[in-house]
Amino acid sequence: MKYMFLVYTKEEQKAQMSEQEMMSVMAGHMAVIETAARAGVLHGVSPLKPTSMATTVKVQNGKTLVVDGPFAETKEQLGGYYIIDCKDLDEAIAWASKIPTSCGGGQGSIEIRPLHEVPEIVQATEGRLAAQHA
């Protein structure tokens, strides 16, 4: 089963980190990425731009509302994600425990969410659409 690991940090504290501290955090992420890639379980990973660059879209009563920034006010912000293929939640927890959360003063967290498998018919449809637009 594939799991998405949502990495939450505190942007304000992250912005105050020294270059050396940031390099240390990045080295920790790279170690996890390289290990997961070598194990053949890594299916995606990316840091996110800050919430100041986010856009939230809502549809209410048939009208689209676009708002700058994240929708919810939170103490921690979503900073990035990993997608890892694990045999079960215990293995997902083991991988998540390796991800550095020291951005934001070490107060970050990893939310683990199982992903729904996309049905084969949806994948086939996407393949046909891609072929039509190629």
- Residue among 126, 94, 110 at smallest CA distance from 4: 110
Query: Under a CB-based contact definition with an 8 Å cutoff, are residues 1 and 89 in contact?
Result: no
CATH number at 119 reads 3.30.70.1060
CA distances (Å), origin 60, targets 39, 63, 64, 69, 102: 44, 5, 7, 18, 38
DSSP H helix total and E strand total for the chain: 4, 6
- Residue among 117, 110, 116 at smallest CA distance from 32: 110
**Which phi and psi (to 5°) does residue 15 adopt?**
-65, -20
Q: What percent of the chain has pLDDT over 90?
A: 35
Averaged pLDDT for residues 94-117 = 80
pLDDT in tens, 36-53: 999 999 999 998 888 888
The total number of structural domains that make up the chain: 1
Q: Note the pTM of the prediction, 2 decimals.
A: 0.75
Averaged pLDDT for residues 65-72 = 74
* C-alpha R_g of the chain: 18
Using CA atoms, how far apart are residues 35 and 6, in angstroms rounded to an integer?
A: 18
Using CA atoms, how far apart are residues 6 and 66, in angstroms rounded to an integer?
A: 24
Q: Residue 66 belongs to what domain range?
A: 2-133
Report the mean per-residue pLDDT for the chain.
84
Give all strands (DSSP E) within 1-134, no chain letters. 2-9, 42-47, 55-60, 63-68, 77-85, 109-114
